[in-house]
Amino acid sequence: MKKYKVGMVSLGCDKNRVDAEIILGRMSEQYEITNNPKEADIIIVNTCGFIESAKQESIDTILEMAEYKNKYKCKMLIATGCLTQRYGKELQELMPEIDITLGVNDYEKINEYIMNFINNDEKLIEVNYSDQKINEGIRILTTKSHTAYLRIAEGCNNFCTYCIIPKIRGKFRSRDKESIIKEAELLSKSGVKELILIAQDLTMYGTDLYGGQKLHELLRELSKVDGIEWIRLLYCYPEEIYDELIDEIANNNKVVKYLDLPIQHISNNILRLMARKTSKEAIINKIETLRKRIPDIVVRTSLIVGFPGETEEDFNELTKFLQDYKLDNVGVFKYSQEEGTPAAKMENQVPEEIKEIRERNLMLVQQEVAKEINELKISNIYDILVEGHNGEYYYGRSYEMAPEIDGVVFFDSEENIKTGAIVKVKITNCADYDLMGVVVYESCK
C-alpha cells in the first residue's frame, strides 16, 4: 500500500494536533506520508469545532481539499476531529465530497475504513459517543523536531456555560503515569528537548486514577527523563493550582517558569454567568501567590469579550485588570454563541460589532503592556531554544515563550548554530511581542 500517499491538514488546538500525529503514526506503516496535499492520494482534514470561526475554517478547508480531487491526485477525502464528532452525519450529508467521516473516538479504525473504500468504493461514517478513549500510539511529529506536545489527560468536567468541549471530548480522564513516562522517553530518544504538557485542565491530573491531584508527582518523574531540558505547562485552571504544584514548579529546574491560566474574565458577574468555579478575588490572589513564590513566573491567559450580559462596566473592569496586573501574554477572543451550550440561550446577547470593538480595544491595551514588559528585558541574558534561521537572523524562544502563540527572539551569531541547540542570548532591543539580541556565548545542550 506504500504506493498511496497520505496528506494531512490539521486545524485547531494542540490537543487536536496530537490526534493528527497519532493518525499519521497509525497510517505510516501502510502509506507514505507527505506534507504536500497536492501529492496526496488520500487527504485527511482534522477539523476543529470549538467556535464559529473554527467551524467555518474547517468547512472551508474541506471544500478546498475536495477540489484537489479535480486538480491533483486526491482520490479519497477523510474528515476527522471535533467538527465531525459534533456534526458527523449532518456534515457528510451536507458535504458529499467527504468519503470517510470519523469522530474523535474512532481513529483506530481508519486503516480498515480506507481499505474498505478502496475495495468497495463505499462511503463510511463512524462517530462513537459512548466509548470514550484517550488516543495514544506512535506519532509522526508535526512540530519542530526538538519540541513535542504530550497529552496527559482527555476530556473536561468543568462544564463552563460557553464551552462545547465536554460534549465533544467527554468527561475528564487521566492517562496512567507509566504510559506518559514511556512516551516521554520515546520522544526524548527521537531528539525532543521540550515537552509541552497539555490537557483541558492539567491541574486535575490524577484525580480520577489516583485519588487526588498528582501533577506535581508526574512532573518530578518526567524531569528524570534523559535529554528533556524543558517541561512546559499549558492550561492550568487557577482555582485548582495547589501548593505542592507551586513548589514543584519553583524548585524543579526542568519545569519552565511559565503557566497558562485560562481565566476568561475577571468580573464576578461574568464569571458567575460562565459557571466558572472561582472569583475575581481568588484569581488575583492566585496570581500574586505565584509571583511571590516563583519570582520569574510568566503568566499567560485567554480572555473572552462580549459574553452574554457583559456590560461596559464589566468590560472596563477587565481592561483595568490587564493594566494593573500586567500579564505577560494574553489571547483575546470574541464570545461565540455555540448551540448546545447554556450560554447560547442566555438573554442579553452582545451585538457582534460591540464584540469586535471590545476585542480590538483590549488587544491594544495588552499590546502596550507587552511592550512595557519587553522593554524591561533589554540587557537580560536568556537561554534560547533555537528554532531556525530566516535568512538574516537566527530565531528561537526563551522559557517565557510557548511555540506559535507567544513571541520569538531574533538574534545574531558569528558561528553556525544547529536548530534545537540552547544558547545564551543577550537582549538588545524589543518590539511589541518579539525580542532582538546577540549570542554572548554558546552553551549548547
Task: List pLDDT tens digits, range 249-260.
Answer: 999 999 999 999
Domains of the chain: 5-126 (3.40.50.12160), 147-376 (3.80.30.20), 380-439 (2.40.50.140)
**Binding residue per annotation — 236?**
no
Task: List pLDDT tens digits, range 364-404.
Answer: 999 999 999 999 999 999 999 999 998 889 999 999 999 98
C-alpha cell at 324: 494593573
What CA–CA distance (Å, rounded) separates 363 from 361?
A: 5
C-alpha cell at 427: 537582549
- Taking alpha carbons only, the member of 203, 377, 196, 201 closest to residue 296 is 377
Exposure class string for 369-383: b at 16+ Cβ within 10 A, else e = bbeebbeebeeeebb
> What pLDDT band is residue 444 in, cutting at 50, 70 and 90?
very low
**Binding residue per annotation — 74?**
no
Res. 91: pLDDT tops 90: no
Cα 157 to chain center, whole Å?
18
Q: How far is CA 187 from each of CA 3, 138, 160, 229, 244, rounded to the nearest angstrom? A: 28, 10, 33, 12, 27
Sign of CA dihedral 400, 402, 403, 405: negative
What CA–CA distance (Å, rounded) separates 61 from 85?
A: 17
Average pLDDT over residues 35-58: 90
User: What pLDDT shows up at residue 8?
Assistant: 94
**Binding residue per annotation — 160?**
yes
3-state secondary structure of 342: helix
Res. 442: pLDDT tops 70: no
Task: List pLDDT tens digits, range 409-423.
Answer: 999 887 889 999 999
- Taking alpha carbons only, the member of 321, 323, 331, 248 closest to residue 290 is 248
**Binding residue per annotation — 163?**
yes
Res. 443: pLDDT tops 60: no
Global pTM value = 0.93
DSSP classification of residue 350: P
